[in-house]
Amino acid sequence: MNDLAIIILNYNSYEDTSREVNSLLNEGISQKSIYVVDNNSKDRDKIEKFGDEKQINYILSNHNGGYAYGNNLAINKAIEEGKNYFLLLNPDIEISLASIQQLYKGLKEFSNIGIIGPRICYRNERNKIFSDGGLLFPEKGFMGGHANGEQNKKDIKISDYNYDIKYVDGSALMFRKEILSEAGFMNEKFFMYYEESEWCLRLMNNTKWKIAVNTQCEAYNLASNKGSFYEYYMTRNRIWVCRMYNGNVKFVIKERLKLAKKAFKKNNFSLAKAYLKGIYWGLNSKL
């Protein structure tokens, strides 16, 4: 897998990032395959020292441009260095060399797959599925969901490759270089959330490439806490996707206004403001 780049985006997550890199190196992944991007976080000096110590590729960005921006920096550098396949990993993801090899083999074996991901389970409940691939419902304002989410693995009967999905979760996503010339890079304007969803929609709507999840290989994540930051970008970006792909904008607005009202009643004004701000900029931003 010498032509594979494994890209990890760091933003104040040094402990997870270093754990993940050490795990990959211990399993035999080459230093030249690993790219760590620090998105102008407080960890900048730690990442620089760690990168030099481990002799991996690292990029110290002077600007926090979000998920797509940071990953695109590493993708471009890896292309310059001859990489043809790219695995994007969140720092909290745990994935084995065997799973990475299966994903890589899938792209090699199935020439029609442009983006592939593993089954994602919870790190603290390893038999519980987080996602067998992402789902999107345009009639509900591109509300997201997860195939087989929250189900126990032993209760699920599914083919090795699940094509019946709308996006591959960006926490563990592998793709081939060829899709970039047809679909382009991820949209950096999104900053956080829905960028991989929009990218997969763009790929499937405008090209012949398919996306899939290989349910026979697994990665493990941690459940994340959600707050005002999350709700603002989820609200704004859902509306953006609706505007770009003819989704039900009114559904998002109605749903988010209800949530804002509930937040006000609980005196959670920062959360209420996040919903309202997300609606405003979702409707009024230039795409």
Kind of pairing, strands 85-89 and 134-137? unpaired
The predicted model gives 52-78 an average pLDDT of 96
Average pLDDT over residues 190-216: 96
Q: What is the pLDDT of residues 149-163, one digit of tens each?
A: 999 999 998 889 999
Say whether 83 sits in a helix, a strand or coil: coil
- The whole-number average pLDDT for the span 121-125 is 92
Using alpha carbons only, what angle is made at residue 55 by residues 53 and 59, rounded to the nearest 5 degrees? 100
CB contact at 8 A, 159 and 192: no
Look at residue 158 in the predicted model and tell me its pLDDT. Answer: 87
User: Residue 223: pLDDT above 80?
Assistant: no
Find, among 116, 99, 104, 93, the residue nearest to 21 by Cα. 93
pLDDT exceeds 80 at position 146? yes
pLDDT at 224: 73
Q: Does residue 6 carry a pLDDT above 90?
A: yes
Return mean pLDDT, the chain.
95
| Model pLDDT for residues 238-281, shown as the tens digit of each residue | 999 999 999 999 999 999 999 999 999 999 999 999 999 999 99
Q: In 3-state terms, the chain is what percent helix, strand and coil (to 5)?
A: 45, 25, 30
The separation between the first and the last C-alpha atoms of the chain, rounded to the nearest angstrom, is 37
Nearest by Cα to 285 from 169, 142, 187: 187
**Is the predicted pLDDT of residue 47 greater than 80, yes or no?**
yes
Model pLDDT, residue 226 = 82
